[in-house]
Amino acid sequence: MEAFLERYTLSESEVTILCSTSVDVNPTFFDALEHLENIHADCNALLITEHQRAGLEIMEKMRTYRNISYGKLYQWMQNECRTMSRPDGLMEVREVAKRAIQALKQDDQYFRS
């Protein structure tokens, strides 16, 4: 049971990192986001077994967390873009902003190519 929960659920701290506006976007956010995406993808395996209902429920919960997380990331990125300009007119792009752009590219709702 413990292995199942580890594979198919986020920890409380991961949910807080992904969903709380009081927690900043940082490398830990992206680790939690990757775990969320892995859980969502792994649920496909449940859909072809007798655990379809559990798979669908987990996917729905992950979809909710995903929507909140990407909304948080999008808002953070907008704020980050406002602070990228330097006095010399150049832009300074932090590594975490680069990771944010890569993550947002995964969702057409937030990033259109």
Domain boundaries, the chain: 2-104
CA distances from 24 to 18, 68, 93 (A): 9, 14, 17
Contact (CB, 8 A) for 97 and 84: yes
Q: What is the pLDDT of residue 4?
A: 79
Helix (H, G, I), strand (E, B) or coil at 65: helix
- Closest C-alpha among 60, 84, 64, 83 to residue 72: 64
In this prediction, residue 112 carries a pLDDT of: 65
Q: pLDDT (tens digit, 9 = 90+) per residue, 31-49?
A: 999 999 999 888 888 888 8
State percent of the chain over pLDDT 70: 92
pLDDT score for 14 = 97
